[in-house]
Amino acid sequence: MPANLPLPKPPESAPAGRVGGVSVLGTGSYLPARVMTNADLEKIVETSDEWITSRTGIKERRIAAEGEHTSDIGAAAARKALEQAGITAGEVDLILVATASPDMFFPATACLIQRLIGASGATCMDISAACSGFLYAIEMARHMIDGGAIRYALIIGTEKLSALVDWSDRNTCVLFGDGAGAAVLGRRPEGRAGRGILGTFMGSDGEYSQILGIPGGGTRCPTTRENFDQKLNTIKMLGKETFKQAVNAMTSASIEVLDRTGLTVDDIACIIPHQANVRIIDAIKDRLKVPSEKFFMNLDRTGNTGAAAVAIALDEAHREGRIRPGDKVLMVVFGSGLTWASMVVEW
Ligand code: UT7
């Protein structure tokens, strides 16, 4: 395997998309009520608060209640985003849901959320890009709004990863959590300070598809008793390899989107990275030479919430006043696939 993940360069003629014009009109997030601390995990697997904190930065994560599904969690975040945007569910033209833990194979979790929030006029689908899905979905919706096909899009990252974790595998069960974040996109309103989405970079590399995923339960490895007994329907990860690829991809993607938008890190007020491991974020900080204060982190309270991670962090940063009108925000994500993406938004 190459030491550095080769990031494809866009062709010279690649359309950049119109700069600005599509803005985030509102954000929302939701975390299930039940808190699972590292001390709780010490009772389940052979681990310690000291190991989890020092190796990951995670202190606690939220776990969905019995009967609380990925769609319910996503709907709760969506309602808050709509409220903040001042848009009714009936005005939503498109719902894109990024998730690796859908309620079921099909129908799409987006359709289930449509029903829950009453967005009867929306077209709905799920995006399967693991932890990178939220930015992938925003980029697709941006082009539909920019092209005039739709007016308002509701983008949701929602996960119930607790249902897909092998609770006897200490290598993975300490890492993940449940939650959802959402954003409403639309044309930049009159008088808004920021120009909206300034640029995006996305990439994938299926050569590394084996390092993180759920091997069983699909058509390749169906749910037979034997596969189930081997727990092939739970998350499997080569931690060290994933760690290395995450650092390389998120660093390169950050540099690439700054290049594309003609900005430097000094122009960025807040960086919101995928929340998987504090050591991954520290390594990116060092490589980009950015002070810690620029990074928004909530990993200690949420664990890794997959496609929801950057969505929840964006909402919390916004509501806490870490993002102010006119600020440039850099979001950068990485996930199974492999997939990665970065985006600069002027608020
Ligand atoms: O969202 C998608 C992206 N996901 C990620 O980016 C995650 C990337 N990977 C990571 O964050 C890290 O690789 C981990 C946190 C998963 C693991 O950290 P590490 O420093 O790579 O540890 P390791 O896998 O090398 O394990 C070191 C030791 C092993 O023991 P031995 O073999 O050295 O005796 C593990 O068995 O730590 C052991 N270990 C644990 N010990 C206590 C692994 N998990 C645990 C645990 N508690 N929960």
Tell me how crowded residue 204 is: count the other CB atoms within 10 A of its CB.
18
b/e per residue 121-151 (b: at least 16 CB within 10 A): ebbbebbebbbbbbbbbbbbbbebbbeeebe
Strands 212-213 and 60-63: unpaired
What pLDDT shows up at residue 10?
45
CA–centroid distance, residue 309 to ligand 1 (Å):
20
What pLDDT shows up at residue 8?
47
b/e per residue 7-43 (b: at least 16 CB within 10 A): beeeeeeeeebeebebbbbbbbbbbbeeebebeebbe
Side-chain-facing half-sphere of 345: CA atoms under 13 Å: 26
What pLDDT shows up at residue 144?
97
CA–centroid distance, residue 4 to ligand 1 (Å):
21
What pLDDT shows up at residue 16?
44
Max Cα distance, the chain (Å): 61
Q: Are 32 and 62 in contact (CB under 8 A)?
A: yes
Q: Is 67 left (phi over 0), alpha (psi -120 to 50) or beta?
A: left
Q: Are 200 and 41 in contact (CB under 8 A)?
A: no
Where are the chain's structural domains? 22-187, 196-346
What pLDDT shows up at residue 222?
95
What pLDDT shows up at residue 9?
47
Give the angle 252-257-263 at the CA atoms, nearest 5°.
Answer: 115
What pLDDT shows up at residue 15?
43
Domains 22-187 and 196-346 are alike in CATH topology: yes
3-state secondary structure the chain: CCCCCCCCCCCCCCCCCCCCCEEEEEEEEECCCEEEEHHHHHCCCCCCHHHHHHHHCCCEEEECCCCCCHHHHHHHHHHHHHHHHCCCHHHCCEEEEECCCCCCCCCCHHHHHHHHHCCCCCEEEEECCHHHHHHHHHHHHHHHHHCCCCCCEEEEEEEEHHHCCCCCCHHHHCCECEEEEEEEEEECCCCCCCCEEEEEEEEECHHHCCCEECCCCCCCCCCCHHHHHCCCCCCEECHHHHHHHHHHHHHHHHHHHHHHHCCCHHHCCEEEECCCCHHHHHHHHHHHCCCHHHECCCHHHHCECHHHHHHHHHHHHHHCCCCCCCCEEEEEEEECCCEEEEEEEEC
Separation CA 305–CA 63 (nearest Å): 10
Judged against a pLDDT cut of 50, whether residue 13 lies above it is answered with no
What pLDDT shows up at residue 309?
98
Ligand 1, CB within 6 Å, residue ranges? 47, 51-52, 55-56, 131, 170-171, 174, 212, 239-240, 242-243, 246, 276-277, 280, 304, 335
Q: Span 172-200, mean pLDDT?
A: 95
Q: Span 135-141, mean pLDDT?
A: 98
Judged against a pLDDT cut of 70, whether residue 341 lies above it is answered with yes
User: In the CATH scheme, what is the code of domain 22-187?
Assistant: 3.40.47.10
pLDDT > 70: percent of the chain = 94
What is the per-residue pLDDT across 231-283, written as a single tens digit (0 to 9) for each?
999 999 999 999 999 999 999 999 999 999 999 999 999 999 999 999 999 99
Of the chain, the end-to-end C-alpha distance in Å amounts to 39
What pLDDT shows up at residue 12?
46
Looking at this protein, which amino acid is placed at residue 254?
Answer: S
> Which mutation among 55, 248, 282 tests ligand 1's pocket best, with the greatest number of atoms within 8 A of CB?
55
CA–centroid distance, residue 106 to ligand 1 (Å):
33
Please identify every residue annotated as catalytic.
131, 274, 304
Q: Span 299-325, mean pLDDT?
A: 98
Judged against a pLDDT cut of 70, whether residue 289 lies above it is answered with yes
pTM greater than 0.85: yes
pLDDT > 90: percent of the chain = 93
What is the per-residue pLDDT across 54-98, written as a single tens digit (0 to 9) for each?
999 999 999 999 999 999 999 999 999 999 999 999 999 999 999
Judged against a pLDDT cut of 60, whether residue 187 lies above it is answered with yes
What pLDDT shows up at residue 5?
52
Judged against a pLDDT cut of 70, whether residue 4 lies above it is answered with no
Per-residue pLDDT band for 190 (boundaries 50, 70, 90) equals confident
> Which mutation among 168, 171, 174 tests ligand 1's pocket best, with the greatest number of atoms within 8 A of CB?
171
Judged against a pLDDT cut of 70, whether residue 1 lies above it is answered with no
What is the per-residue pLDDT across 191-239, written as a single tens digit (0 to 9) for each?
888 999 999 999 999 999 999 999 999 999 999 999 999 999 999 999 9
Homologous superfamily assigned to 196-346: Thiolase/Chalcone synthase (3.40.47.10)
What is the per-residue pLDDT across 142-162, written as a single tens digit (0 to 9) for each?
999 999 999 999 999 999 999
What is the per-residue pLDDT across 15-53, written as a single tens digit (0 to 9) for each?
444 456 899 999 999 999 999 999 999 999 999 999 999
Mean pLDDT, the chain, integer: 94
What pLDDT shows up at residue 11?
42
